Amino acid sequence: MGILDAPAADAYGRPLTGFNPVRDLPGIAAWYDASKVSNANGTAINQWADSSPKNRALIQSTGSKQPTVKTAGLGGLNTLSFGATALMIDSGFGADWGQPNTHPQPLSYVALVKASSTLIGAGTNRHIVAGNFGGSQSCTMLLISTNQNLVLNAGSYAAGQGGPALNDDAWHVVVGIFGPGSCTTMVDGYVTGGAITQTQGTWPMVQLAVGGNANGNFPFGGEIAEVIVCDAELSFAQAAKATEYLARKWSL
């Protein structure tokens, strides 16, 4: 087959010229894309569909905790506004993930977020992607620390050595990689922290929550455009590709 005869799409009809998270990221486990939410501006939503083939929708049935749609929130695309109490949870976690209550590392979280400088006070952790954290349960967490840096935690705070203060009302692509022998944080394509040991701890994913933890604590407070969860340890190059994909898609 000559180059001019090469197909323009893969076997699933996805263009080969662009980056497709389902095809091009390893082990995609969930993909929440606010640009596909079509509700009117200001509408509170009770479900955020999973754009991956896994069908792991996020749910919030309590009206006061529901995020609202912001039309043309970024790059002409819709985003979701998470207020000081808003969060969404994979209520079917367990059955959804093929295991009873937990899902082990390696895991990678990629998100495009804008943390408000005013919604959440200084000195409070802000969970971007977390789970059931509290009591005897703990979990993998990607969060903004009290120093306003991106941090991983799966038992202990890790990989928070640097990076920008994220409570700046600006959009950032954030990546957290929980490996069995390493951990990494990345912001806007730069490695901002990491270690060559499992410094973050060994806790698994316990439920999946976006915009806070599943217990309603440590709200993120801001806008979220997209969240991708991978059941794999992304390489730096893969994380950079995902970052570039989000930056182009959302006109950053």
Partner 1 sequence: MVVPPQKFITPRQDGTDSGGQGVSVWFPQGVTGPAPLVIFSHQQGGIQGAAWNNGAGWIKVLQHACNQEGWIFAASANHGADSWSSTNAQNDLTALYNYVNAIVPVSKTVLCGASMGGSVSAMALINNKVPNVKGLLTYDGAFNLAAMYANSYDLSINTGFGITPGTVSTGGAAAGATSIPLSISFPSGTNIRIGYGTANDETVTVTGTPTGAGPYTTPVTALTKAHAAAEKVSDYPDKTAGFDPVLQSSAAFPNIRYQLVSGVGDTTCVKATNTDALAAKITTSLEKTTPGHLGGHLSSVTDPTINIPFLRRCFA
Among the listed residues 92, 155, 189, 204, the single contact to partner 1 using CB under 8 A? 189
Among the listed residues 68, 116, 148, 200, the single contact to partner 1 using CB under 8 A? 148
Q: Taking Cα atoms as reference points, which of 192, 57, 206, 69 lies closest to residue 127?
A: 206
The Cα–Cα gap between 169 and 198 comes to: 31
* Cβ at position 25, least distance to partner 1 in Å: 14
> DSSP letter at 21?
H
Three-class SS string for 60-104?
Answer: CCCHHHCCEEEEEEECCEEEEEECCCCCEECCCCCCCCCCCCCEC
78 binds partner 1 (CB under 8 A): no
CA 140 to each of CA 1, 20, 128: distance values in angstroms, whole numbers, following the listed order: 46, 25, 11
Among the listed residues 145, 198, 200, 213, the single contact to partner 1 using CB under 8 A? 145
Considering only 60-68, 75-83, 189-197, 210-218, which stretch makes contact with partner 1 by CB under 8 A?
189-197
Q: Taking Cα atoms as reference points, which of 54, 32, 55 lies closest to residue 45?
A: 32
Residue (160 or 219) nearer to partner 1, CB = 160
Residue (90 or 226) nearer to partner 1, CB = 226
Residue (145 or 213) nearer to partner 1, CB = 145
Q: Going by C-beta distance under 8 Å and a sequence separation of 6 or more, which residues neighbour residue 1?
A: none
Question: Roughly how many angstroms between the first and final C-alpha of the chain, as a whole number?
Answer: 37
173 binds partner 1 (CB under 8 A): yes
Among the listed residues 57, 59, 84, 240, the single contact to partner 1 using CB under 8 A? 240
Q: Which residue has the tokens 């928070």?
A: 160
Rounded CA Rg of the chain: 17
Site string for partner 1, 5-44 (x = CB under 8 A): ----------------------------------------
* Cβ at position 191, least distance to partner 1 in Å: 5
Query: Which chain residues interact with partner 1 by CB under 8 A?
Result: 122, 145, 147-149, 160-165, 173, 182, 187-197, 199, 235-237, 239-240, 243-244, 247, 252
